A and B are shown apart, each in its own frame.
Chain A
Amino acid sequence: MKHFVVHPTSRRGWLVTLAFALLVMAGIWPVVALFNRDDLWFGLPPIAILTYAIVVGCWVTMLVANRLLVGGERDV
């Protein structure tokens, strides 16, 4: 058989993959360094804000992905 690496096969699949990758990049260096400040945003440390932004981002991205990728398009 011809071997392959699995990747998305539709534009929507690529979009969801890109969103997942951006979310993961948002939680690690160097992005986290931008939030590494000792002032407060909305009463919380910036790293806490980043953390819960990622939590909400993951939830919303999966909600959107469920709508984008229906039936056979679940291929990310």
Chain B
Amino acid sequence: MSSWIPLAITLGYIAVALIIGISARRGHVMDSLEEWGVAGRSMGPVTLYLLIAAGSISAYTFMGAPGWAYSKGVAVFYVVIYLAYLALVAWYCGPKVWAFGQRFGHVTQGAAIADRYQSPLLGGLAALIMSIGSLAYAVLQTIGSAYILSVMSAGRIPVWLGVVVVLSAIALYLFVSGQRAIGVTNAFQGVLMLAVAWAVGLWAAREATGEIGFAGVFERLASERPEFLTLPGAVGDMGFAFWTTSIIVSMFSFMPPVWSQWMSARSASTIRRSATWLPTYYIVVLPMVVVGFIGILALPALSRADTVALTYALDHMPSWLVGLLGAGTLAAAMSSCEPFLHSIAMAYARDVAQPLFRLSDATTGRLARRLLIPVMALIVAPVAITEPSNLVMILLVGLGFATQVLPAFIGMFLWTRASTPGVLAGILSGFCVTLAFTLVWPNPLGVHAGFWGLMVNLPLFIAVSLATRPVRDDVVERFFAISAPGRLLRASENAA
């Protein structure tokens, strides 16, 4: 494509995101974690809905998902299912997390864990393990962003320069406005993505079948390539075991940015209202997946499946729509990347540096903002420029590690007896098993490595918890007065 229009639209999108991100600060002083980290707990239901929705719709939706549809078929729909389940998790846990934050002053996930288990070590360890998944996710989105800029500029913007442009834009508005920037940019990106995905999907369907609707696409596939319409998919690697365990592992990944998003809400009921409507946003995935299915017949010899939507757009769509697809894909990548970068900086400052160096809250707040730059420049950018592995596998690895922190949350929401050594044993064993079954023997018996980790993690967590001293009563009572109001009172009466 030689037209300058797609690149202009894509760069225009970055400029708009930059302007609204920077202006989100609106006179607020950002040197405290309460402001920079959780936007002064001020977000309303609509902003929160778009914040969480856009944050969960990543470059995967615009690149990886059409790529999976193109290479594997209907296996791609597992993503929509686990996203819907994450809304259930948000509905149940979100209001409780908000109440923990509001009453006990937590601004990070690690701080809540450290408080519940009276162990800064556990809070720091959980933060570090979560940061592996978060970094993997941020790298994934950055690669996607740089690739978009490269395609939209017909190769004139190399990947390294795309990485620098995108991370610089994010760094600027994130440094200036923190979580408030994430809120307004995600709201803008969320609306843009929904419009672009449906415009591209319907245009592609009309181009491929002559009708505005998806039935014709699947009718052709059913008659010519039916293997794409069932599991284990066209390449046979997504059996029921991997489908099921991928969904379970993904839905129990309490990623740190989601935690910060919940704590940014104006009230507990704000989260419940947003979570209730969250599944409605995931219709955004369907049209992009259809583009991948169209590609199976229209572009049979693609060397890289992730590129199917963009390649199809470049071949069959007008340049303004290609530009909008570029902007939409970039919006998806940036809206997911920025919350992760933000939460990594907060976690390193609040959960690792503060207890280690006994920093004051004010110093920790300033440090979190300033840590953004080295995290981007020294970790995310170099790794993204080397473009490691397959996009989706990075996502799965990240979620697999994040799931291993599950015992810490069980002890926060469901089980009063969870002890510090029990959680520590569970996390460490789950982490080691996931690592081995990711790198040495990937996904044995077609079961997700993170699920194998959980199968060792959870029994060990329970056994060690029962065999060791529980956390102090006053701490447990403080948490479960929120997690199980009324129940705690009855338990105390029975004990008396």
Establish whether residues B215 and A40, one from each chain, have CB atoms under 8 Å apart when the complex forms. Answer: yes
Q: A24-B251, A63-B276 are in contact. List 12 more A-B contacts (CB 8 A).
A: A1-B492, A5-B414, A6-B413, A29-B240, A29-B243, A32-B243, A36-B231, A40-B218, A44-B215, A48-B77, A55-B81, A62-B275
In the bound complex, residues from chain A placing their C-beta under 8 Å from that of B222 are 38-40
Establish whether residues B495 and A65, one from each chain, have CB atoms under 8 Å apart when the complex forms. Answer: no
Chain B contributes a number of interface residues (CB within 8 A of A) equal to 61
In residues 78-129 of chain B, which contact A (Cβ within 8 Å)? 80-82, 84-85, 87-88, 91-92, 95
**Is B476 part of the contact surface with A, judged by Cβ < 8 Å?**
yes
Partner of A3, one of B74, B240, B416: B416
Say what secondary structure dominates the interface of chain B.
helix
Partner of A75, one of B84, B417, B487: B487
Segment among B16-24, B142-150, B279-287, B305-313 that sits at the interface with chain A: B279-287
Smallest Cβ-Cβ distance to B289: which chain A residue: A48
In the bound complex, residues from chain A placing their C-beta under 8 Å from that of B279 are 55-56, 58-59, 62
Indicate whether A1 sits within 8 Å of B240 (C-beta atoms), given known contacts A40-B215, A54-B81, A55-B282. no
CB distance from B178 to the nearest CB of A (A): 29
A30 to B231, CA, bound (A): 13
Chain A residues with CB under 8 Å of chain B are 1-6, 9, 20, 23-24, 27-30, 32-33, 36-40, 42-45, 47-48, 50-52, 54-56, 58-59, 61-63, 65-66, 72, 74-76
In the bound complex, residues from chain B placing their C-beta under 8 Å from that of A63 are 276
Establish whether residues B276 and A59, one from each chain, have CB atoms under 8 Å apart when the complex forms. Answer: yes
Establish whether residues A62 and B88, one from each chain, have CB atoms under 8 Å apart when the complex forms. Answer: yes
A52 to B215, CA, bound (A): 15
A74 to B98, CA, bound (A): 15
In residues 255-280 of chain B, which contact A (Cβ within 8 Å)? 272-273, 275-280
Smallest Cβ-Cβ distance to A2: which chain B residue: B495
Partner of A59, one of B74, B230, B280, B417: B280
| Sample of 16 A–B contacts (CB below 8 Å) | A4-B491, A5-B415, A6-B487, A29-B241, A32-B240, A37-B230, A40-B222, A43-B213, A43-B214, A44-B215, A47-B229, A55-B84, A58-B84, A62-B87, A62-B88, A72-B485
A6 to B491, CA, bound (A): 11
Contact with A along B472-486 (1 / 0, CB 8 A): 010011001001111
Chain B residues with CB under 8 Å of chain A are 74, 77, 80-82, 84-85, 87-88, 91-92, 95, 213-216, 218-219, 222, 226-227, 229-231, 240-241, 243-244, 247-248, 251, 272-273, 275-280, 282-283, 286, 413-417, 470, 473, 476-477, 480, 483-487, 491-492, 494-495
In the bound complex, residues from chain B placing their C-beta under 8 Å from that of A72 are 485-486
Indicate whether A2 sits within 8 Å of B230 (C-beta atoms), given known contacts A9-B486, A24-B85, A29-B240. no
CB distance from B451 to the nearest CB of A (A): 11
Establish whether residues B80 and A47, one from each chain, have CB atoms under 8 Å apart when the complex forms. Answer: no
Q: Which 3 A-B pairs have the closest CB atoms?
A: A43-B215, A2-B495, A38-B226
Establish whether residues B247 and A28, one from each chain, have CB atoms under 8 Å apart when the complex forms. Answer: yes
In the bound complex, residues from chain B placing their C-beta under 8 Å from that of A52 are 80, 283, 286
A6 to B219, CA, bound (A): 48
CB distance from A23 to the nearest CB of B (A): 7
Indicate whether A20 sits within 8 Å of B77 (C-beta atoms), given known contacts A6-B414, A32-B240, A39-B222. no
Establish whether residues A27 and B247, one from each chain, have CB atoms under 8 Å apart when the complex forms. Answer: yes
Smallest Cβ-Cβ distance to B75: which chain A residue: A47
A59 to B282, CA, bound (A): 11
Establish whether residues B484 and A45, one from each chain, have CB atoms under 8 Å apart when the complex forms. Answer: no
In the bound complex, residues from chain A placing their C-beta under 8 Å from that of B229 are 37-38, 40, 45, 47
In the bound complex, residues from chain B placing their C-beta under 8 Å from that of A56 are 279
Smallest Cβ-Cβ distance to B280: which chain A residue: A59
Indicate whether A54 sits within 8 Å of B74 (C-beta atoms), given known contacts A47-B231, A75-B487. no
Establish whether residues B470 and A66, one from each chain, have CB atoms under 8 Å apart when the complex forms. Answer: no
In the bound complex, residues from chain B placing their C-beta under 8 Å from that of A62 are 87-88, 91, 272, 275-276, 279
Establish whether residues A1 and B80, one from each chain, have CB atoms under 8 Å apart when the complex forms. Answer: no
In the bound complex, residues from chain B placing their C-beta under 8 Å from that of A66 are 272-273, 276
